[in-house]
Amino acid sequence: MKPTRVPCVHDEPPAARGHEACVRLREVGLGNHGRRIRSAGGRFLAYGLAGWAVDSLFVAAHTGRRCPGSLLNVPVYGLAQPLFEPVHDRIRDRHLVVRAAVYGTGTLAVEYASGRLLRRLFGDAPWDYGDAPLAFDRLVRLDYLPLWAVFGLGLECLHDRLVT
């Protein structure tokens, strides 16, 4: 059975907002099927688990390490609920490059702040970029900015699927 094309959740055509990927997800049958997560806590957990899974897959592909990332990363990625959602709602009409820059920069800031907090609480953060080029305080890598920008653009579709 051929999947039907479901329009993007936004009022404007998807291309106008850069949400082409949202339409593609629905074309292959990955729409939200009426499942919304209305509670902030539920969305916090959804972002946390999704981020942890993507992070674990990235680390496995990048380093060959097969064990999943630390579960301490779940609340760090969960911060997308109170921090990312309002930003996405405010800038969703902006150009794709502007949104990507905001998401990449914001993610680096949150990664650094949460890493510092985890160091203070537990003595170390679950990630350590060591002496990698463009690493700052072993907690962020500036060369990962484009990756975090793409991650943020992916969160746009997740956010829309969770709330609409």
The answer to whether 10 and 17 have CB atoms below 8 angstroms apart is yes
Strand partners, 140: 136
Residue 114 vs residues 13, 100, 152: alpha-carbon distances, Å: 37, 21, 17
pLDDT tens for 23-45 read 444 444 444 455 688 899 999 99
Domain extents in the chain: 1-31, 37-163
Q: What is the Cα–Cα distance from 128 to 115, expressed in whole angstroms?
A: 9
26 and 5 Cβ atoms separated by less than 8 Å: yes
> pLDDT by residue (tens digit) across 37-72?
889 999 999 999 999 999 999 989 988 887 888 898
Which pLDDT score is estimated for 18? 53
Question: Which DSSP category does 93 fall into?
Answer: T
The percentage of the chain sitting over the pLDDT mark of 70, rounded to a whole number, equals: 79
Query: CA of 15: how far to CAs of 18, 21, 77, 103, in Å?
Result: 5, 10, 28, 19
Contacts of 15 (CB under 8 A, 6+ apart): none
pLDDT tens readout for residues 104-131: 999 999 999 999 999 999 999 999 999 8
**Contacts for 13-20 with beta carbons within 8 Å, 24 or more apart?**
17/92, 17/93, 18/95, 18/96, 18/99, 18/153, 18/156, 19/156, 19/157, 19/160
